[in-house]
Amino acid sequence: MKRNALNFIKIAVLTACLSLTFDGVAQSSSILYGSSRNPLMNSVNPAFFPSNSRAYISLPGVNTNFISPLAYSSIFQYDSAAGKTYINANNILDTLANNGDIRLGLNVNAVGLGFNFNKFFITVSTQAKVDFGFALPKGIVTFLNEGNYGHVGDDYIELLDGRLASARVYGEAALGFGYNINDNITIGARAKFLVGYFDLSTAGSSCRLYTAEDYSSITGVVDLNLNNTSIFEETTDENGKKSYKIKSYFPHNYGLNFDLGVRYATDLFEVSASIIDLGPGIHWNENVKRIVSARENNSFTFSGVDVSNMMHGGTLDSTFTQQLIDSLTSLTEYKTIDGEDYWTSIPTKVNIGGLFHFTKGFSAGLHFHGEFDRALTKVGDVFKTQNVGFYSNTSLMARLSLYDWVEIVASASVITNNGRWNWFNPGVGVTITPLRTLQVYAFLDYISNIYLIDAKHFNISAGLNLFLGSSASR
The top-scoring range by mean pLDDT among 109-123, 156-170, 216-230, 417-431 is 109-123
Confidence class for position 245, pLDDT limits 50, 70, 90: confident
Task: Please tell me the predicted confidence (pLDDT) of residue 205.
Answer: 72
Q: What is the pLDDT of residues 18-77, one digit of tens each?
A: 333 333 334 467 888 889 888 989 999 999 998 878 899 988 888 877 766 666 666 777
CATH of domain 2-468: 2.40.160
Confidence class for position 16, pLDDT limits 50, 70, 90: very low
Q: What is the pLDDT of residues 22-36, one digit of tens each?
A: 333 344 678 888 898
Confidence class for position 426, pLDDT limits 50, 70, 90: confident
- Who wins on pLDDT, 90 or 360? 360
- Who wins on pLDDT, 473 or 421? 421
Distance of alpha carbon 108 from the chain centroid: 15
The answer to whether residues 355 and 374 touch, using CB atoms and an 8 Å cutoff, is: no
CA angle at 419 for the pair 418 and 424, rounded to the nearest 5°: 105
- Who wins on pLDDT, 299 or 434? 434
Q: Measured between alpha carbons, how far is 420 from 70 in angstroms, rounded to an integer?
A: 12
Rounded to an integer, the average pLDDT of 322-345 is 70
Rounded to an integer, the average pLDDT of 304-312 is 57
Task: Please tell me the predicted confidence (pLDDT) of residue 470.
Answer: 64
Look at 111-120, 214-223, 312-321 and tell me which has the smallest mean pLDDT: 312-321
The answer to whether residues 167 and 105 touch, using CB atoms and an 8 Å cutoff, is: no
Q: Which residues pair with 135 in a beta bridge?
A: 101
Residue 191 has pLDDT above 70, yes or no: yes
pTM of the shown model: 0.74
Q: What is the pLDDT of residues 87-108, one digit of tens each?
A: 666 666 666 655 556 677 788 8
Q: What is the pLDDT of residues 427-448, one digit of tens each?
A: 889 999 887 788 899 988 877 6
Q: What is the pLDDT of residues 271-295, one digit of tens each?
A: 999 999 998 889 888 888 887 777 7
Q: What is the pLDDT of residues 384-405, one digit of tens each?
A: 555 556 778 889 999 999 877 8
Residue 309 has pLDDT above 80, yes or no: no
Q: What is the pLDDT of residues 127-183, one digit of tens each?
A: 998 887 666 666 666 666 666 665 665 566 666 665 565 688 999 999 999 999 988
Nearest Cα to Cα of residue 57 among 428, 423, 463 = 463
Q: Measured between alpha carbons, how far is 449 from 96 in angstroms, rounded to an integer?
A: 19
Rounded to an integer, the average pLDDT of 331-355 is 83
DSSP strand pairing (55-67 vs 101-116):
antiparallel
The answer to whether residues 1 and 111 touch, using CB atoms and an 8 Å cutoff, is: no
Q: What is the chain's Cα-based Rg?
A: 26
Task: Please tell me the predicted confidence (pLDDT) of residue 437.
Answer: 85
Q: Where are the domains of the chain?
A: 2-468
Q: Measured between alpha carbons, how far is 33 from 30 in angstroms, rounded to an integer?
A: 5
The Cα-based distances of 23 to 133, 185, 229, 287, 324 in angstroms read 4, 38, 15, 21, 32
Q: Measured between alpha carbons, how far is 139 from 206 in angstroms, rounded to an integer?
A: 11
Task: Please tell me the predicted confidence (pLDDT) of residue 170.
Answer: 92
Q: Measured between alpha carbons, how far is 254 from 261 in angstroms, rounded to an integer?
A: 24
Nearest Cα to Cα of residue 6 among 139, 138, 146, 158 = 146
